[in-house]
Amino acid sequence: MTNNTIVHLSDVKIYQKDSLVLDQVNLDITKGEFAYLIGKTGSGKSSLLKTLYAALPLASGRATVAGFDLKTLNRKTIPLLRRKLGIVFQDFNLLDDRSVEGNLLFSLQAMGWKDKSSMQARINELLERVDLKGKNHKMPHSISGGEQQRVVIARALLNHPELIIADEPTGNLDPETSDEILLLLRKLAQENDTAVLFATHDYRILENFPARIIRCHGGRLIDEEDLVV
């Protein structure tokens, strides 16, 4: 493990309740790295991701994420870990009663931002970077699914995360929009030196935009970094 290591898992066991889902998990992800997480439904992808953002407790082994030891996390420190992460889900989970800007402002306030001018500047900066400049006051229902997912990506980037966890972020999008979202995430990761773990079922994406592949299979995590899909 180096100073550039954002995720380090060593001999980790991952459980869902009393059921062992993944065994002997070893994984390192470094700053600025983009990696796909693949595997069949029920293979443990979501359980692995939930472990990384502390929605599932670490059962055994050693694990650090963004400088936090997962074994010593508690109710007070879990929110501090999550402030260093950006999480993008398949479902947009935007607040329907707030504008695009209102959604981002709500998240900034929840993360402890106070200064109004700093918050406004950060919102404007990110909306421009995800190609939504001028859409601040649009309501979520009035923009497309791809645009909603861009808002979600902007939200994930608000607090300068060290790791973006993307759980099937293109699952509800058409192929062309999926490609746009993927390329946007890869570009933003490179520009910000942010690591991205991108879970997907879309093997077309893997073929068209190759990157490191981590596969959940047979209760194990298999690193296929050198495999050409």
Exposed / middle / buried, residue 196 (Cβ in 10 Å: 0-12, 13-18, 19+): buried
b/e string for 111-138 if b means 16 or more Cβ within 10 A?
eeeeeeeebeebbeebbebbebeebbeb
- Reported as half-sphere exposure (CB side, CA atoms, 13 A), residue 86 has a value of 29
Domain assignment of residue 120, given as a range? 91-160
Q: Which amino acid is at 2?
A: T
For residue 92, the model assigns a pLDDT of 85
**Residue 37, domain member (yes or no):** no
DSSP state of 44: S
**Residue 113, domain member (yes or no):** yes
For residue 225, the model assigns a pLDDT of 64
What does pTM read for this prediction?
Answer: 0.91
Q: What is the mean pLDDT of residues 60-83?
A: 95
Q: Which tens digits make up the pLDDT trace of 161-218?
A: 999 999 999 888 899 999 999 999 999 888 889 999 999 988 899 999 999 999 999 9
66: left (phi over 0), alpha (psi -120 to 50) or beta: left
**Residue 72, domain member (yes or no):** no
Separation between Cα atoms, residue 168 and residue 149, nearest integer Å: 11
**Residue 47, domain member (yes or no):** no
**Residue 134, domain member (yes or no):** yes
Q: Which tens digits make up the pLDDT trace of 124-158?
A: 999 999 999 999 999 999 999 999 999 999 999 99
**Residue 131, domain member (yes or no):** yes
Total number of domains constituting the chain? 1
